[in-house]
Structure 1
Amino acid sequence: MVNIVLAAAAVIQRQDGFLLMAQRPPGRGWSGWWEFPGGKIEENESPFEALQRELQEEINISANDATLWFERSYSYPDKKVYIYFFKVTNWTGEIKSCENQLLEWQNPSHVSVAPILPTNLFVLKSILLPPVYAITNIEELGEKLFFERLKIKLEEGLKMIQVREKKLPYQDVKKIAQKILDLAKPHQAKVLINENEKLALDIGADGVHYPSHSLIQLKDRPEFSICGASCHNLEELMIAQDLEMSFAVLSPVQKTESHPLADPIGWEIFSEYANKLDMPIFALGGLNQVSLTKSWQCGGHGVAMQRSIWE
């Protein structure tokens, strides 16, 4: 029988975006490795109660607003570790080392401490990405209605959009993409172009999203700051991870209007694949905003939507 260990971890983030990391002290397993503060959940303890106790014991603080972010499982030869990651941006007390461990504030874009526990690598990549990834659907909505909806969504906090209009001529897509980019910039929202690297360079987009047929032909990671990939199985996900892509989109999780004949993988397979990888994975296919919590519970980063996001 596999020994299952439950743990709670705190992703403590300052206003400047820096994250607090702790080095495991001598005498403990994985001594010298860096991680997020936290520890084992004791019997009859909730994840939140364990988090508060560990924060007090390890670094002398109490979290004022610990929000459960996502849940991940990791398999080792002798045990399976299930971790509840909480995001903490406000706390009481002065942070200090209480267990002889080194503490460092790290910029998630340029982490300088090493080595980092494998269970924590996913967090460093995920913290840089928003949980909702919108995909354009001008073909169905029409340009006028789409831009009306886009403005509303940007006001509501949408932070990442993929321009995917495969049936339009290059110049039309370029015009649309430029308009999306101009609307997104004041909201600090990122704009990615589907597949077309030339278009991304022409308009100064934030990155490119590669369909699976393009992904498997890549030899090296493209030189865009954000590189996404569409994946449909574990093999493609592993290729995306080996290329160090920024994230992957795994689909279809549920039945979709656009691909009615495609067999959905379901949440169980999504969870199995997501928890095998150290990269952020968005769930796509028949999902809506409510599906976000399910994605987090399954070890995913968030959800991607092409239809329901614009409703």
Structure 2
Amino acid sequence: MARKLVDVAAGVLLRADGRYLLGQRGPDTVYAGYWEFPGGKVEPGETPAQALCRELDEELGIRVTHLRPWLRREHLYEHAHVRLHFFEVSAWEGEPDGKVHSVLDWVRPEQATREPMLPANGPILKALRLPRMMAITQAAAIGVEAQLAALDRALAGGLRLVQVRESALDPLRREQFAREVVARVHACQGLVLLNDDLALARAVRADGVHLPARSLMGLRQRPDCAWVGASCHGRDELEHAAALGLDYAVLGPVAPTATHPGQPGLGWVRFCELAAGLPMPVLALGGLGTADMETARDTGAHGIAAIRGAWRLPGT
């Protein structure tokens, strides 16, 4: 028998130090002792955002002053078919108080998962480990040494996610460059993805692979590696990435870019329409830099991916 679909709003409360809030369900509840993100059922006449603000007031005693749409996931429990609307909550008034949870805990994304975790909430923990800024290499255009110097500066400034996209380098030089990037990024506990080359990603011990749209649409199952993402340009590609269970997508271009001269950007309104309601994080790409981060996240993006905008190059 088909179970009734229940809409639930869930909040990822984020502190300035990067920690997020989890609560352990009380002893007299379904799934007692399990950890979850705070939130609750969307009542008739409420939007998910309104329901979350009400629930966080009732559960934690706080008043939300700023939230952002993020992910939407569905899960089939034994007792219910749940559709969870996840929001990032970046500002609130008051101090969270465990009115309904046995324990509240502020957790760093890199820390071990709290166990047991509600099944519908578990995949969100990996999404929170995905850094907000992806830098895409351009060594073939600016030179390997200049790119490595730019990488070092960016890592010192906090960059922790790099995509190596260097099809124009000869195979040996590309492998050497990729190995060097992996060594430097891993020394800072960051992630490295190889563009469209799973064999090379494994050879250099990268963290995963990033698929261009043409490769994405030819797949019927997820590649076997820890992190897999894809470049997307429309809703059909985004939905295919979601169906494969990819960890993230990159959508763009949002603004006109030098990489695609004459091609108009999507703009933030269209980006929001295309990226809404997906189960995995979506990074905004195209003519963007760190100054666009807050706008991107308020529009529903997980963060930003950039080529030129990610590197502080001398003379720019």
After TM superposition, the score normalised by the length of structure 2 is: 0.73
Unaligned 5+ segments in structure 2 are 1-8, 43-48, 73-83
1:86 counterpart (82, 86, 89)? 89
Letter aligned with residue 180 of structure 1: V
Letter aligned with residue 169 of structure 2: L
Asked if the contact 1:23/1:35 (under 8 Å) is kept, the reply is yes
Q: Residue in 1 aligned with 2:79?
A: none
**CA shift in 2, pair 1:10/1:208, >3 Å:** closer
How far the C-alpha of 1:261 sits from its partner, in A, is 3.2
Q: Residue in 2 aligned with 1:306?
A: 307
**CA shift in 2, pair 1:104/1:82, >3 Å:** closer
How far the C-alpha of 1:266 sits from its partner, in A, is 1.3
Q: Residue in 2 aligned with 1:71?
A: 69
How far the C-alpha of 1:123 sits from its partner, in A, is 4.6
Unaligned 5+ segments in structure 1 are 1-6, 28-32, 41-46, 75-80
**Within 2, Cα distance between the matches of 1:23 and 1:171?**
54
**Within 1, Cα distance between the matches of 2:24 and 2:175?**
46
How far the C-alpha of 1:108 sits from its partner, in A, is 7.7
Q: Residue in 1 aligned with 2:196?
A: 195
How far the C-alpha of 1:146 sits from its partner, in A, is 1.3
Q: Residue in 2 aligned with 1:161?
A: 162
Q: Residue in 2 aligned with 1:4?
A: none
Listed as ranges, the matches of 1:88-127 within 5 Å are: 96=98, 98-99=99-100, 112-114=116-118, 116=120, 123-127=124-128
Q: Residue in 2 aligned with 1:44?
A: none
Listed as ranges, the matches of 1:236-275 within 5 Å are: 236-275=237-276
Letter aligned with residue 216 of structure 2: L
Give 3-state SS (helix, strand or coil) of 1:193's partner. Answer: strand
Asked if the contact 2:35/2:116 (under 8 Å) is kept, the reply is no
Q: Residue in 2 aligned with 1:285?
A: 286
How far the C-alpha of 1:133 sits from its partner, in A, is 0.3
Give 3-state SS (helix, strand or coil) of 2:305's partner. Answer: strand
Q: Residue in 2 aligned with 1:20?
A: 22
Structure 1 ranges of 4+ moved more than 2 A:
7-13, 15-19, 21-27, 33-40, 53-60, 66-74, 81-88, 101-116, 120-126
Asked if the contact 1:108/1:125 (under 8 Å) is kept, the reply is no
For these two proteins, the number of residue pairs brought into alignment is 278
Give 3-state SS (helix, strand or coil) of 1:269's partner. Answer: helix
Q: Residue in 2 aligned with 1:136?
A: 137
Letter aligned with residue 239 of structure 2: M
**CA shift in 2, pair 1:232/1:35, >3 Å:** same
How far the C-alpha of 1:275 sits from its partner, in A, is 1.7
**Within 2, Cα distance between the matches of 1:184 and 1:8?**
33
Give 3-state SS (helix, strand or coil) of 2:129's partner. Answer: coil
How far the C-alpha of 1:22 sits from its partner, in A, is 5.7
**Within 1, Cα distance between the matches of 2:26 and 2:231?**
36
Letter aligned with residue 294 of structure 2: T
Percent of residue pairs identical: 33
How far the C-alpha of 1:18 sits from its partner, in A, is 7.7
Q: Residue in 2 aligned with 1:78?
A: none
Asked if the contact 1:254/1:264 (under 8 Å) is kept, the reply is yes
**Within 2, Cα distance between the matches of 1:268 and 1:121?**
30
How far the C-alpha of 1:301 sits from its partner, in A, is 0.1
Letter aligned with residue 143 of structure 1: V
The question of 1:204 aligning with 2:213 is answered no
**CA shift in 2, pair 1:122/1:299, >3 Å:** farther
How far the C-alpha of 1:289 sits from its partner, in A, is 0.6
The question of 1:296 aligning with 2:300 is answered no
How far the C-alpha of 1:25 sits from its partner, in A, is 11
Asked if the contact 1:253/1:264 (under 8 Å) is kept, the reply is yes
**Within 1, Cα distance between the matches of 2:276 and 2:115?**
22
**Within 1, Cα distance between the matches of 2:184 and 2:278?**
34
**CA shift in 2, pair 1:209/1:18, >3 Å:** same
**Within 2, Cα distance between the matches of 1:186 and 1:173?**
20
After TM superposition, the score normalised by the length of structure 1 is: 0.74
Q: Residue in 2 aligned with 1:11?
A: 13
CA RMSD of aligned residues (A): 4.1
Q: Residue in 2 aligned with 1:229?
A: 230
How far the C-alpha of 1:142 sits from its partner, in A, is 1.4
Letter aligned with residue 69 of structure 2: E
**Within 2, Cα distance between the matches of 1:243 and 1:73?**
16
Give 3-state SS (helix, strand or coil) of 1:240's partner. Answer: helix
**CA shift in 2, pair 1:248/1:289, >3 Å:** same
